[in-house]
Amino acid sequence: MSINLIYLIAGAAMFLAAVLPSVLDRYAVSAAMVLLLLGMAIGLLPLPEGMRLDPVVIRPQVERVTEFTILVALMGVGLAIDRSLDWRSRASWAAWSPTWRLLAIAMPLTIASVALLGWGLGIAPAAALLLGAALSPTDPVLASDVQVEGPRVDTTSTPDDAADEGAGSPPDDDQALGEPVDEKDDVRFALTSEAGLNDGLAFPFVTAALLLASAGGLSSVGSWGLQWFAWDLVGKVVIGVAVGITVGWGLARIAFRSSRRSLRLAEQGEPLLALAALVLTYGASQLVGGYGFLSVFACGMTLRAAERNHHYHRSMHEVVQRLERLLTLIILLMLGMAMTKGVLGHLDWRGVVIALALVFVLRPLAGWVSLRLRARPANLPGGLGRRETLATAFFGVRGIGSLYYLAFAAGEHAFSDERWMWSTVAFTILLSVMVHGTLATPVMRYLERRRERAGRAEGAGRA
C-alpha cells in the first residue's frame, strides 16, 4: 500500500466520519459499524512497510491513544448531561437513581459474572478478573446512538440573539438566563451518566487483577485486600472526584465571572477551554493519586453546572465532539484493520462464549436486577418503566475503554493469556458494535414514540 493510497483512504474515511452520523440517522446502522467494517476491508490490503497492527507489539501506542480518546469522550459526556446533581438535595440524588444502581449493582455483578465464567472455562483467576474488569464499563465513545445529544439551554434570548447564535457569534450575558433544563429521556440519561462514571470505577478491579497476578493467586487476597479496598476502591475515587470538582469550579469562575474581561472566555466563545480543562484535570488527578477518568467527568459536570443555561456549553461540547469523532475514526479503522490482520487469530470457543454471554445475558440480567430492585416510580425523574428498564439494561455498549484497560494491565504485568484476551476483547467489541448498533435506532425511536403518546394522553387528561 503506497503512501498516496493511504492519504486517499484516510481522506475518504474522514469524509465518512463527517457525514455518516446524519446520513445513517434514519437507518438501523451506526457510524461505528460502517467504520469498523471499512477498517476490516482496508486490512485485506497489503500494509505499508514497517506498519504494525499487533496490539502486543504496539501496546504503549494503543494505551495512549485510547486513553486520550476516553478523556475527550468523558469531557463531552460531562458537558452534555442536562440533569444537575446537587449533593445537598435528596430529590437530586433520587433523580440519578438509575446511575447509582447501574454503578453499585450492575457493574460489580457484570465483573464477577464474567470473571467466574472465565475461571470456569479454565482461565487463570487473575486473567479472568482482568477480563471482567476490562469488559465491564459501558463505552462513552461508541454509545452515541443511545446517549443524550448534548447540552440544551432554555433562554430568554431575543430573535436577534438567536440569529447571532446561528451565525456562531459569542452569546451575550442575557443569553445565560432562563429556566433550568433537565433530561426528558431517562434511558439516554442513565446510559450516558453510567458511561461517564464507570470507566473510572473499573480501575480498582483492574488493579485487583494485577495484585492477584503478582501476589500469587487467590490465597494472597488477605494480604492486600484491605489496603486495596481502602485506597484503590475508596480513596482514589474520592480524590479523583474532588480534583475534578475543584478544577472545574476554578475554571468556571474564571471563564464566567472573572473580574478581567480578557479572562471571561465564555463571553469570547472560546471553546478550547474544554480541552485545556480535560488535560489539566487529568494531569492534576494522576499526580495526587486519584482516578483521572473520574476527575475529567466531574470537571465536565462542574463546568456545565456553572451558568447552566449559557450557550458557551454548546460551543465547548461541539469542539470536544469533533475531536472525539476524529479519534474514534482512527481507532475504529485501526481496530478493523487489526481484525483482518490477525488480532482475532487466538480467539477460541471460550472467547466466543464469554462475548455472547456478556452481550446477551450477563449485562442485560445485571442491569435488569439493579434497576428493578426497589425501582423508582416511572413518572418521576430517574424512574424507568419495564420497557425502559429492559432497554437500559441491554444497551451496555463495549468499546474503547476495554482496549485501554487491557493495554494498561498488560503493560504492568506479563499475562500468559494476553493474546487470547486481545482476541476476546476485539471480538466482544465487534459483536457489541454490530448488535447494539443495529438495534439502537429502532428501539430508541420506539421508546420516544411511547413517551410522546403518554405525554399527549396526560395532556388530554388534564384538559
Element (H, E) at 43: none
**DSSP assignment letter at 54:** -
Burial of 22 (0-12, 13-18, 19+ CB in 10 A): exposed
Percent of the chain with pLDDT over 70: 84
Position 461 scores a pLDDT of 66
What's the whole-model pTM score?
Answer: 0.88
Cβ atoms of 336 and 43 closer than 8 Å: yes
- Asked if the model's pLDDT at residue 300 lies above 80, the reply is yes
Least confident piece of the model among 5-19, 94-108, 129-143, 217-231: 5-19
CA distance 76 to 301: 9
Please, what is the average pLDDT of the chain? 85
CA atoms within 13 A on the CB side of 104: 9
What band does 21 get if pLDDT is binned at 50, 70 and 90?
Answer: low
Quick: pLDDT tens for 55-66: 999 999 999 999
What band does 119 get if pLDDT is binned at 50, 70 and 90?
Answer: very high
Residue 315 neighbours by CB under 8 Å, 6+ apart: 269, 270, 271
- Asked if the model's pLDDT at residue 267 lies above 90, the reply is no
CA atoms within 13 A on the CB side of 78: 33
End-to-end alpha-carbon separation of the chain, Å? 68
Would you mind telling me the total number of residues written for the chain in this entry? 463
CA distance 433 to 402: 13
Quick: pLDDT tens for 418-462: 999 999 999 999 999 999 888 888 888 888 888 777 766 666 666
- Residue 330 burial (CB count, 10 A): 17
Give the position of cell 456553572.
306
Quick: pLDDT tens for 216-251: 777 777 788 899 999 999 999 999 999 999 999 999
Rounded to a whole number of angstroms, the CA Rg of the chain reads: 22
